[in-house]
Amino acid sequence: GNGISKSNLLQRCAQRYKIPIGFPAGNHPPTHPLCTSDTGIMTAQFATKRVLVTGSCGTIGRELIRRLIAMENGPAEVFGIDNNESALFMQGVDEGRDPRARFRLCDVRDVHALRGVMEGIDIVLHAAALKHVVICEEMPLQAFATNVTGLQNVIDAAIDCKVKRVIVTSSDKAVHPNSVMGLTKLLGERLISAANAGRRGGGTVLSSTRFGNVVGSSGSVFQIFQNQIRQGGPITLTSP
């Protein structure tokens, strides 16, 4: 929509953040000891901690908030931030009954605001992102501003505020990306890897994890299919 090709966008992103591009097959972000299905181990990692969830009004962010609050012997405080004022208000109504839960209006594009909400935080779970492939294709600079610059802001603020750990939700579309959304997610992973490789001593530990398609998530294709079925069809597929 604004005359920027995907290849040019990737080159500009790589040049701006000094990220090498061209990845050998199978070169994925390193795994981390926190990657476990043992809920007891996971709960222990969050016990008594102050946890911040970005994008708390999205499908992943909402579920993270719910699970953190529901943990027995879980976090001391859970903060949710989002740039959706109405959704954030309703989240405060629904989840704010728990005295440990607090919600703040904040956009990851604003590094100064991020520094303000990260003071005293132990763990950041970064779920804020633009995820719709079509919208990212039409407005690649907006996708870049949130998924790449916004993530770098999270990294910078976390390091400045001495956050102990940052875990970023990435996407399976970062694998051999052929869309703007996938490109921005791949660049985000490289930013995390580069920042973590450059840490010294007991600095902030940064890692990322890839999500696939989440059934029933906000804007999911299943919602489109359900509406099409209710209307008598047909069900549309972009890739038979």
Q: Walk along the chain (240 residues) and give the pLDDT tens digit of each residue.
A: 455 555 566 566 656 655 544 444 444 444 444 445 556 666 788 999 999 999 999 989 999 999 999 998 899 999 999 999 999 999 999 987 899 999 999 999 999 999 999 999 999 999 999 998 899 999 999 999 999 999 999 999 999 999 999 999 988 888 889 899 999 999 999 999 999 888 777 889 999 987 766 655 565 666 677 777 888 878 787 665
Tokens of 181: 């959304």
Candidate list 49, 131, 173, 185, residue with the active-site label: 173
How many CA within 13 A on the CB side of residue 145? 8
In angstroms, rounded to a whole number, what is the distance separating the alpha carbons of residues 80 and 91? 9
How many CA within 13 A on the CB side of residue 86? 0
Instruction: Please confirm, yes or no, whether 173 is among the known catalytic residues.
Output: yes
Q: Is the pTM of this model over 0.85?
A: no
